[in-house]
Chain A
Amino acid sequence: MARIIVSTSGKGGVGKTTTSAAFGTGLALRGHKTVIVDFDVGLRNLDLVMGCERRVVYDFVEVIQEKVPVHQALIRDKRVENLSVLAASQTRDKDALTPEGVERVLTALAEQFDYIVCDSPAGIERGAQLAMYFADDALVVTNPEVSSVRDSDRILGLLESRTRRAERNEERVRQHLVIARYDPVRVEKGEMLAVDQIQEMLAVPLLGVIPESQAVLAASNAGTPVILQDSADAGRAYDDIVARYLGEERPMRFVTAERGLLRRLFGSRA
């Protein structure tokens, strides 16, 4: 049975797509057949972050409309075996995704993949609800910032009521907190919410913390999921997240400011 994982947040720009790309790539690196599906219809971005924007021929909506079978729309990653991407369309028709259509495509994908990672659009409307509806797991991506934390709580409410598992009264969608863009130096100065403060408020198990990192922008500039950059702090943090998701124990990293005294005094940012 394939597992469906949604990367979701409510608020935009918090790192959902970055997380979908890194997490999906990390699963594939460990030998699991993985597809990452862009649900952000009208604002497709996953293709850019994954570096396959010039290879998009058919998209998710065309598959839903049965113009082509799903395998024709899948873009196989050239770097990582077992990894494919299904791009969103650029259509402005918000109703292009239908629950029946999404279910049909996910069912077809489940036949050939172990993991289906759904990259949710921002918001709590139709698009975000469809991205989470069939999920088994949710990566709730949160920034250490008031509006992001509040929106994440709204998303938790939707995961508990507006998903197939909730409607069928089955075991609930497994929720995993991913705190992204974390800056331990600012946390120590009391300028930013700390991991345990966020976790205490949302009361969701913490899967991992991704530091605020220049490597993320560099990776998206290059079209390389950041997890492929071993030297990057954010890449290693995503690798930890994938390992923990698969049941490995890894100590939390990047949660304390382990920097030289001089750098702390003069506040340079790594």
Chain B
Amino acid sequence: MRLFDLIRPSRKANSADIAKERLQIVIAHQRTERAGARPAYFANLQRDLLEVVRRYVPVGDDAVQIDVGRQNDCDILELNITLPEHTRS
């Protein structure tokens, strides 16, 4: 049986290749999902920005909104700070 296999290599796709093909799809999917996730330091950045703004203006917990976008080859940090009504002159 084994001797026979060696002399006449089997024609069907071997199972390791099938495994690889299936895994490549799964992993590519996992990785695109991860790529869409926010960078790990985001929560800390948001908290620190809020702290800085609050040194000057009293604002609510959701006053600082940040987001990342892509433009060409750059990651863009979008920053939105909402000031409360009464601070306007």
Q: Give the interface of A toward B (CB within 8 A).
A: 145-146, 149-150, 153-154, 157, 160-163, 166-169, 187, 189-194, 197, 201-202, 264-267
For B40, give the chain A residue with the smallest CB separation. Answer: A166
Q: What per-residue 1/0 map shows which CB atoms of B17-40 lie under 8 Å from chain A?
A: 101101110110011001001011
Q: Tell me which residues across on chain A come within 8 A of B15, comparing CB atoms.
A: 190-191
| Interface majority SS (helix, strand, loop, mixed), chain B | helix
Q: Tell me which residues across on chain A come within 8 A of B87, comparing CB atoms.
A: none
In contact, A194 and B16 (Cβ under 8 angstroms): yes
CA A265 – CA B2 in complex, angstroms? 6
CA A145 – CA B44 in complex, angstroms? 38
Are A197 and B16 CB-contacts (below 8 A) given A153-B31, A265-B6?
yes
For B3, give the chain A residue with the smallest CB separation. Answer: A265
Task: Decide if B14 is an interface residue (CB 8 Å cutoff).
Answer: yes
Are A201 and B20 CB-contacts (below 8 A) given A150-B27, A160-B40?
yes
For A186, give the chain B residue with the smallest CB separation. Answer: B16
Q: Tell me which residues across on chain A come within 8 A of B2, comparing CB atoms.
A: 264-267
> Taking the nearest CB of chain B, how far is it from the CB of A263, in angstroms?
11
In contact, A201 and B27 (Cβ under 8 angstroms): yes
CA A229 – CA B34 in complex, angstroms? 41
Additional A-B contacts beyond A149-B23, A153-B26, A169-B39 (11; CB < 8 A):
A146-B22, A154-B30, A160-B34, A167-B43, A168-B41, A193-B16, A197-B20, A201-B20, A201-B23, A265-B6, A267-B2
CA A168 – CA B45 in complex, angstroms? 10
Task: Supply 17 A–B pairs (Cβ within 8 Å), ascending by A.
Answer: A146-B22, A149-B27, A150-B23, A150-B26, A150-B27, A150-B30, A153-B31, A157-B31, A157-B34, A160-B34, A160-B40, A161-B39, A161-B40, A166-B40, A190-B15, A201-B24, A264-B2
